[in-house]
Structure 1
Amino acid sequence: MARVSQEHLEARRRQIIQGAARCFSRDGFHGTSMQDIFRETGLSAGAVYRYFPGKEAIIAALANEVLTAVRGAFDDALAGPRPAWPDEIIAEALRRVDDVLLFPPALVIQVWSETFRDPRLAGILHGALIGMADAWAKVVASYQENGLMSADVPPAHVARVLLACAQGFLVQRALLGPLEVQVMSDGLRGLMSMGLRRPPEEEPGADAS
């Protein structure tokens, strides 16, 4: 019997993931049965179960693919010859997500909502988000070391806000319809262009008296 190539195995796995994603997007996670996925992919139950024991495993694989794509953008930014700007990093991360998410953006929200009932998926997303926050903090620290950002702001705080920008963009796209990545990039670049420090009396925590 001829051996099945790794490329064939990966192509079949992708076929199942993408077919399931179409079902989830169309009918919702809980409204989709494994039989629906068999029909959508044109594969037998045995062929699908060879890769995934159930819907939960498929949606976990979807989450992993997206998070791997985003983390790759951060790793590349940290490995570059200069600190990449926030708008560049987020735009590249979102473009990579678009390359992976060949289905409606609303599925992202469905995946997030599943974390409230699926501890395994919650663990995957929690670990990934902490990892991305740490990666952002390293980028922010490099800005401060290169004199590009005020050093009196905790890198972890900036990291959380930048992470929220990307998450908020995905939510807007899911709820409001098509939204180009360039919108996020332009918006961040506009905020970054302010370049003005607050007067001392307007700094948070300043004595109003």
Structure 2
Amino acid sequence: MARVSQEHLDARRRQIIDGAARCFARDGFHGTSMQGVLKEVGLSAGAVYRYFSGKEELIEAIADEAFTSIRRAFREAADTTPPPAPDVLLGRVLRGLFSGEVCGLDGRQFASLIVQVWSETMRNESLAATFDDGYGAMRVVWTDVVEGYRKAGVMRADVPADHVARTMMAVAQGFFAQMALFGDAEPEVLENGLRGLMAMQLPSAG
């Protein structure tokens, strides 16, 4: 029997993950069955179960890939000296994530998947652990970005870096929620909104 190459195995795994991600984004985790995934990817049950034991394992694999992609995008920004301003940084990362970079999903599909992952962590301990790891890693990356701003002399140093990092993460999370729920939150909306907030000039006290 001819040996199956690693490239073929990787391509098949990619095919399954991308197809399952489309199903989950369209029909939700609980509205998607393994039969639906099999139909979406056009493979037999044996071919799919060779890679994944079931839907739960597929969900975890997709969640891990999404978190890895987000973390990598922000890490690349953190390694720039100085890092891009928050409006530029978030806009750049979101455009990449919404361009089919993760599982071939468009912006609203990707945002829908992320919001579903958040919800699923409430009942799935294994997925919750994956999410906790991803969130913790993101806090480290964003804290590094904040430290980069400080080294460049563009951010005050009297607020804990982790607090700034978590606030910026909350902005991104809120954007994902808006995109998933309403579908009209394009990256330039976030860029313009942040730019306006960053340009505020508050009157001096007294």
TM-score by length of 1: 0.87
2:81/2:148 contact within 8 Å kept: no
Moved more, 47-56 or 24-33: 24-33
1:63 matched residue in structure 2: 63
Indicate whether 1:108 and 2:114 are aligned: yes
1:6 matched residue in structure 2: 6
2:27 matched residue in structure 1: 27
Aligned residues: 200
Indicate whether 1:169 and 2:148 are aligned: no
1:193 matched residue in structure 2: 199
TM-superposed CA distance for 1:199, in Å, is 3.4
For residues 5 and 183 of structure 1, do their structure 2 counterparts lie closer, same or farther at Cα, with a shift above 3 Å needed? farther
Query: Structure 1: how far apart are the matches of 2:5 and 2:194?
Result: 44
TM-superposed CA distance for 1:13, in Å, is 1.4
Query: Structure 1: how far apart are the matches of 2:30 and 2:157?
Result: 47
Query: Structure 1: how far apart are the matches of 2:76 and 2:35?
Result: 40
Equivalent runs, 1:33-52 vs 2, <5 Å: 33-52=33-52
After superposition, give the CA deviation of every residue in 1:109-163 in whole Å (9 maximum; x if it has no partner).
2111110111110011111111111211111122122210111111111101100
1:73/1:89 contact within 8 Å kept: no
For residues 23 and 71 of structure 1, do their structure 2 counterparts lie closer, same or farther at Cα, with a shift above 3 Å needed? same
Q: Percent identity?
A: 53
TM-superposed CA distance for 1:200, in Å, is 4.5
2:16 matched residue in structure 1: 16
Moved more, 153-162 or 20-29: 20-29
After superposition, give the CA deviation of every residue in 1:25-54 in whole Å (9 maximum; x if it has no partner).
333211222122111111111111111111
TM-superposed CA distance for 1:186, in Å, is 1.9
Rg larger in 1 or in 2?
A: 1
Which residue type is aligned with residue 66 of structure 1? Answer: A
TM-score by length of 2: 0.88
Which residue type is aligned with residue 95 of structure 1? Answer: R
Q: Which runs of 5+ in 1 are unaligned?
A: 202-209
2:91 matched residue in structure 1: 91
1:70/1:96 contact within 8 Å kept: no
Query: Structure 1: how far apart are the matches of 2:198 and 2:18?
Result: 37
Query: Structure 2: how far apart are the matches of 1:33 and 1:198?
Result: 58
Query: Structure 2: how far apart are the matches of 1:82 and 1:2?
Result: 52
Aligned partner of residue 100 in structure 1, secondary structure? coil
Greater than 4 Å deviation, 4+ residue runs:
none
Aligned partner of residue 29 in structure 1, secondary structure? coil
Which residue type is aligned with residue 28 of structure 1? Answer: G
Query: Structure 1: how far apart are the matches of 2:150 and 2:90?
Result: 19
Indicate whether 1:143 and 2:149 are aligned: yes
